[in-house]
């Protein structure tokens, strides 16, 4: 997901005359902001690439395989392939967002260069925050999510990750037969505020591992220390060898996803990396299967069917780029593999979706 570095449109000769109160050209300010765009592009690539499958259609038939292609031989010694397939249709909403650069040339001349740059940076940040907000809604909502599609103006209903405490309607994965409660991927701890190591394993790690995922991560808030207080927590600095093994693929072939600038590895629980990220609200933890691959990413991301309309778009209707420029971009998220994520509320005894 790449930001367009020419979103301000063509800068004409009039723009060169527009300077701030400290005599800095607006043209130079805008061109310096290309570095910020590169930062956002890198951040999005690192974070979204292993976790999101991009699609341009309003829905996708997701095929669920048991992970094992078995070859059986008949009496004539001719092999026949057998595999368990289970599928569902997932609808992916799409919402478009708009914001405007509405500084007049007079306003710019009364502002410092830092104020002008901060103003434009805030607009870019608003897009990034809205994108992450949409992702959080898809991740933490434990019921069918109804959204009006902004392209075709019809209602879409996105399914959450598995959320049944009784159903076992899933084929075996690598020899594991699902039990009642295994498909309940939204849970809370038995004692509010005091998650146990056994609960972390059974309600987070195993929920995702049962679906055949090997590359797991647990996300917590920057301000949550529940995991660091667990007896089984191993700080990252105490596992230098383990870090090297993860980054270079160890004997088990597991690798850790390259982290984006806003994420931080703090340690491990049961050999699963604990990552602090602002994606997760305080009081919640998310286990993600980051193996990647077709039908194996946790999330789907809807993109416009016309490739040239994807990413940040601008409509400049003024001789001055900051005077009347409309910035727009759209996105939509929905669970892809419904077993690829599990959510645990750490500060309650029953799950309640956070307010996003």
The hierarchical CATH code for the domain 13-67+82-345 is 3.90.1690
Residues 301-325 have pLDDT tens digits of: 888 877 777 777 777 676 666 777 7
Q: In which band, very low, low, confident or very high, does the pLDDT at 2 lie, cut at 50, 70 and 90?
A: very low
Q: Quote the radius of gyration of the chain (alpha carbons, Å).
A: 24
- Higher pLDDT pick, 237 / 182: 182
Q: Determine the Cα–Cα distance for residues 300 and 98; give it in Å rounded to an integer.
A: 22
- Return the residue matching tokens 């800068």: 11
Which pair of tokens denotes residue 157? Answer: 């209903």
Q: Percent of the chain scored above 70 by pLDDT?
A: 80
Q: Determine the Cα–Cα distance for residues 340 and 51; give it in Å rounded to an integer.
A: 10
For the ranges 58-62, 129-133, 164-168, 276-280, the maximum mean pLDDT occurs at 276-280
Give mean pLDDT, residues 105-133: 86
Backbone angles phi, psi at 327, to 5 degrees: -105, 135
Q: Are 101 and 327 in contact (CB under 8 A)?
A: yes
Model pLDDT, residue 5:
37
Q: Are 139 and 343 in contact (CB under 8 A)?
A: yes
Q: Are 284 and 62 in contact (CB under 8 A)?
A: no
Q: Are 185 and 163 in contact (CB under 8 A)?
A: yes
Which pair of tokens denotes residue 223? Answer: 């301000």
Model pLDDT, residue 168:
73
Residues 205-217 have pLDDT tens digits of: 999 999 889 899 9
Model pLDDT, residue 169:
67
- Return the residue matching tokens 């990252």: 236
Residues 17-73 have pLDDT tens digits of: 678 899 888 777 777 766 776 777 777 777 887 788 888 888 888 776 555 444 444
Residue 331 predicted with pLDDT over 60: yes
């Amino acid at each position: 997901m790449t930001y367009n570095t020419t979103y301000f449109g063509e800068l004409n000769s009039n723009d060169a005359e527009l300077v701030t109160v400290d005599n800095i050209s607006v043209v130079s300010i805008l061109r310096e902001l290309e570095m910020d765009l590169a930062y956002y592009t890198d951040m999005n690539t690192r974070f979204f690439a292993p976790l999101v499958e991009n699609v341009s259609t309003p829905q996708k038939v997701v095929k669920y395989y048991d992970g094992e292609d078995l070859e059986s031989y008949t009496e004539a010694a001719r092999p026949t392939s057998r595999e368990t397939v289970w599928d569902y249709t997932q609808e992916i909403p799409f919402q478009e967002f708009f914001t405007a650069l509405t500084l007049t040339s007079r306003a710019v001349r009364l502002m410092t260069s830092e104020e002008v740059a901060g103003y434009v940076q805030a607009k870019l940040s608003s897009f990034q925050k809205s994108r992450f907000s949409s992702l959080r809604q898809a991740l933490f909502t434990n019921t069918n999510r109804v959204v009006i599609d902004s392209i075709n103006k019809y209602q879409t209903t996105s399914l959450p990750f598995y959320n049944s405490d009784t159903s076992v309607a899933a084929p075996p994965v690598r020899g594991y037969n699902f039990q009642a409660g295994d498909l309940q991927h939204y849970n809370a701890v038995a004692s509010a505020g005091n998650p146990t190591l056994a609960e972390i394993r059974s309600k987070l790690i195993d929920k995702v591992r049962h679906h055949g995922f090997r590359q797991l991560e647990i996300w917590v808030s920057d301000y949550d220390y529940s995991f660091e207080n667990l007896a089984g927590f191993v700080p990252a600095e105490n596992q230098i060898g383990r870090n090297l093994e993860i980054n270079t693929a160890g004997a088990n072939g597991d690798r850790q996803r390259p982290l984006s600038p806003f994420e931080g590895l703090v340690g491990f629980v049961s050999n699963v990396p604990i990552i602090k990220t602002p994606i997760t609200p305080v009081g919640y933890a998310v286990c993600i299967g980051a193996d990647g691959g077709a039908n194996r990413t946790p999330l789907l991301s809807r993109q416009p069917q016309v490739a040239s309309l994807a990413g940040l778009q601008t409509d400049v209707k003024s001789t001055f780029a900051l005077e009347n420029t409309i910035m727009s971009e759209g996105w939509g998220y929905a669970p892809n593999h419904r077993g690829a994520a599990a959510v645990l509320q750490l500060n309650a005894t029953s799950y309640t979706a956070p307010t996003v």
